[in-house]
Amino acid sequence: MKVRQIIYAAKFEGSPKESDFKIVDEDLGDQLKENEFFYEAIYISCDPYVRLLSDSYIVGKTTIPGYQLAKVLESKNPKFPSDSILVMNVGWRTGGKSDGSDVWYDRTDIPKNVPMSAGVGIFAMTGLTAYYGVNYVLKPKAGDTILVSGSAGAVGTVVGQLAKGMGCRVIGSCGSMEKIKFVKSVGFDDAFNYKTESVAEGLKRLAPKGVDLYFDNVGGSFSSAVLESMNKGGRVACCGAVSSYNSKVPAQAPVIQGTMALNSLSLQGFNIFDDIPAYADEIYVALKQWAGEGKLKQHEYLTSGFESLPSTFIGMLRGKNFGKTIVNM
């Protein structure tokens, strides 16, 4: 089987460039040992954490990390027979050979009334992250006001729908008028444009009773300002800091500890690798139910063709995407 992968060709300095990536061909032969199988990518997920983790990559060697929805072609692994639909943590590659150890989740049972790309969206890391942050960290009750930063992004659009379904007042922040329109269509009560309105003003206008819960996708100065507007005892779910991923020097932001202490705020960081696996099965069951009842939809920004991955990724870091960024093979 012949496949292509995309490797880390040059060190990211600030914003990644297309020349930091390189497509490499690979011939895997056509022999399978016991427990091995060949698979082919259907959808590849494009995620901000690719930027965050880059210090650990080896130039000229590391396959850009990422997960994909893949179909099993030929198999000597009884757990994953042909036509299995799997979420695989194998990086940016068109296909490959596996012994099953890099399978994250079996999604062969993905509901038929949902687009299959949900296998890398609401039914994979994106949905799991949103659900975990909302239900295991923030634990909203009806009537709470929740702010979602990066609300037009992959995780943000799912968080908004979940929180709305739980009876919260859901406020988003995003970077353009078009995105405000978009997140309202997704189900947010309202949103403000952080490029044209300060956090304090936006929240005063849209959350006059203050913010109880904050699902933070961006971090940095934006989040320092949010904390100032939070009600006493407020809780923050921190799933990333995309605002600082592109910084050449460590990004700086106003100190938060004074506000955290004065207002008894709590901040819980979490990530898909360490925190979610133990709950992934029960979360998937819940997500299927939400989707089955029509209360949770996948909103995606789909591009086409393996070779478009670098430009799609770069565009996503610049905020080009509406919803989950996925590349269709």
* Min separation Cβ 47 and a second copy, Å: 13
198 binds a second copy (CB under 8 A): no
* Min separation Cβ 28 and a second copy, Å: 32
* Min separation Cβ 172 and a second copy, Å: 18
Site for a second copy in 63-82 (CB under 8 A): none
Residue type, 180: I
Task: Select the residue interacting with a second copy from 275, 288, 291, 299 (CB under 8 A).
Answer: 275
Q: Which helix (H) or strand (E) holds 260?
A: helix 257-262
15 binds a second copy (CB under 8 A): no
Closer to a second copy by Cβ: residue 146 or 276:
276
CB 216 within 8 A of CB 226: yes
Q: Which helix (H) or strand (E) holds 164?
A: helix 154-165
CB 66 within 8 A of CB 21: no
Residue 103, token pair as written in the block = 């399978």
Residue 73 neighbours by CB distance under 10 Å: 15
Residue 107 CA to residue 194 CA, distance in Å, equals: 37
Closer to a second copy by Cβ: residue 235 or 297:
235
300 binds a second copy (CB under 8 A): no
Closer to a second copy by Cβ: residue 92 or 214:
214
Helix axes 125-132 and 154-165, enclosed angle (nearest 10): 50
CB 226 within 8 A of CB 149: yes
Q: Contact letters (x/-) for a second copy, 17-56, by CB under 8 A?
A: -----------------------------------x----
Residue the block writes with tokens 């009884």:
78
* Min separation Cβ 278 and a second copy, Å: 12
Which SS3 state, helix, strand or coil, does residue 97 take? strand
Site for a second copy in 213-272 (CB under 8 A): 216, 218-220, 223, 232-233, 238-241, 243-245, 250-271
Residues that bind a second copy (CB under 8 A): 52, 216, 218-220, 223, 232-233, 238-241, 243-245, 250-271, 274-275
